Structure 1
Amino acid sequence: MCVRKSVTMVSITSLLLLVGHHYVSAQPVVPIIQTIEAPVAKRIASFPLSITTEQTSVLIFPSNIKSVDRGSAALLCKTVKEAPNVLKIKAANDSLVATNLNVFVADGTLFPFSVRYQQIPDLLTLDFTDPKQSDDWHPVNVSKYGMNEVEVQQFSDIVAGLPPFQRTPHSNRIGSMRAQVSGKYYQQGILFFQFTVENQSQLPYELDFARCYIRDNRSSLRSSDLEKEIKPLYVHQVEGNTISPQSQAQIVFAFDKFTIANNKHFSVEFFERGGDRNMRIKIKGKQILRVRPLLPYLSDEYSNQSFNF
């Protein structure tokens, strides 16, 4: 079948070349100018926002504010510590020239505003947790091809509830405690490590902190060259950071994708608060490569369930 198809393609190509030769011979030579159209940018409408100097406008967003870009220094903006999804804004003076404001929030959404001064604004409090604000305006999803912070947290919480599919590598048993890698997943540039921590003792285990780093296998190197600490994007921990006696718990770390050379290893350490039952797991580079794609796995394991993201 493949041979017949190849012969057919060669025949068609030869025929087209022959026809083209006769056509070109019969026509005058005309220079060809290829026109390439520039891509047309999608126009995004900005939400009209009026502010004043004597009163504070309050904007409420669906998730925590990550960044605020002001078009003018005359825009005075401040986030609220107790409510990180709330932005307070007012004008520095009444001569504020029309400008713009862009607010980036943790769910990967951009809220663009066109700002102008108005002595008495029409609205002082705007709630953007309601997705339906206007027929001709909507926020912009700027994380279309990546995973935003909220999604990383949601996926980590889901991974914590998945059944383990491996039991190694694991730490040494310290005081009836042991930690092991029970799952590794990858999705949209994010690595998820699922750890199972077993407490077979009669005392609760209180997790103080965990430390993750890439370490060189050659101990003769200087300490500055020996290891590189890696900060997780998110950690799903057990409630109260406490593992009850005769029980176990799942802890999930989410990292930006990384790989390591054969002469290095990825090390994860768990430290006990007020105790010495500290555990360390060494993960080789080839073990990191053996991950499962998260979404197809979820589809197979939970085909009858739905998840809201």
Structure 2
Amino acid sequence: MCKGKLVRSAKLFIFLLLLYSCPTLAQHPISDGILAGAVSTENLEITTGQTSILVFPKPIKRHDRGSSQILTKTINGIDNVLKVKAEDSTMRKTNLTVFTTDGHIYSFQVDYSPVPAKLVYPILPDPRITIAPAPTIRLNEARIVEVADSIALTPGRWIGKHSKKSGGMQLHLTGIYLKDAVMFFQFSVSNHSPIPYNIDFTRFFIQDSQQGKKTINAEKEALPLLKRIAPMDQVDSGKKVILVVAFDKFTIADRKVFTAQVYEKNGDRHLTMKLKGKVFLKAKPVSP
């Protein structure tokens, strides 16, 4: 019996020895991504007075900070770059994980250094590890237009969210609808002033709900699939128009807000509304 145990132990020892000496599973720089069967890291050194730049081969889908002492910011119009700094010199060693749109995961061990060894990190993907995207069935473009037009004609109901008034103008959230992985937001733009209001453009983004003095104000643009204004983009005195905006289905964390902005053409009566994630739970399904 003892001899059998010794043989099994010897086989296990030899297997483990081969496993950890195998070149394909040896530690590999994290700049090449995450390896199948082993997670190896490269230390990312950051400081307070200089910004470290991570350049990814594909757009960043989201990222997760192991500590709030890591300050991160994406760049508007450059969706594959992440700027990273340390909040202060007391930052403890932590981690940072970045997910890109091609399904790759990049993980970093982050440490404070008064003088980082380098500031720019070109990141290369490792094709051996990806996240298989969940299959989704999304509406085609024609169907998105059809559903948006139908929602624009649907009587909305104010669900408790609105912007501050600006020169007699106000933005109300009147409905959230969901159809086949597409989320539709219905807003009303009301004019309580004697001056007509012409909509110039709209903007939507996600950001942290609270910003500290040393926190980088990170904003992530939310790009609509479609925008519809009914009946027209001019809001006459005492009238309102309906704005319907379609996005790929998404949710946000409790510490973040979804911000909708409407800008006036040749004017300064700009409207801003911030929505917390719990409001998304009021979404109603669109019937076939």
TM-score normalised per structure 2: 0.50
Aligned to 2:173: 181
Alignment partners' CA distance in 2, 1:175 and 1:232: 27
1:217 aligns with 2:209: yes
Distance 2:187 2:216 in 1: 28
Check if 1:257 corresponds to 2:243: no
The alignment partner of 1:295 has SS state of: coil
Give a deviation string over 1:138-197, Cα, whole Å, max 9, x none: xxxxxx943001111110011011111234210001111000100110010000000011
- How big is the alpha-carbon RMSD for the aligned residues of Structure 1 and Structure 2? 1.8
Is 1:247 aligned to 2:236, yes or no? no
**What one-letter code is carried by the residue in structure 2 that aligns with 1:182?**
T
Higher relative contact order (CA 8 A, sep 6+): 2
Count how many residue pairs are aligned between Structure 1 and Structure 2. 153
- The residue correspondences of 1:137-286 to structure 2 (distance < 5 A) are 145-220=137-212, 226-286=218-278
Range that drifts further, 255-264 or 234-243:
234-243
Cα distance in structure 1, aligned partners of 2:261 and 2:167: 15
User: Aligned partners of 1:267 and 1:170: how far apart in 2?
Assistant: 11
CA 1:222/1:147 → structure 2, altered by over 3 Å: closer, same or farther?
farther
Q: Give the direction of change, closer, same or farther, for the CA distance of 1:145–1:219 in structure 2 (3 Å limit).
A: closer
Tell me which residue corresponds to 1:7: none
Structure whose CA Rg is larger: 1
Percent identical pairs in the alignment equals: 34
The DSSP-based 3-state class of the residue aligned with 2:149 is: helix
Distance 1:164 1:235 in 2: 17
| Counterpart secondary structure, 2:201 | strand
Q: Which amino acid aligns with 1:271?
A: Y
Structure 2: runs of 5+ lacking an equivalent? 1-135
State the distance in 2 between where 1:221 and 1:227 align.
Answer: 16
What's the offset of the Cα at 1:220? 2.2
Q: How far apart, CA to CA, are the structure 1 residues paired with 2:156 and 2:280? A: 16
1-side partners of 2:283 and 2:213: how far apart? 30
Gaps of 5+ in 1: 1-143, 297-309
CA distance in 1, matches of 2:161, 2:184: 15
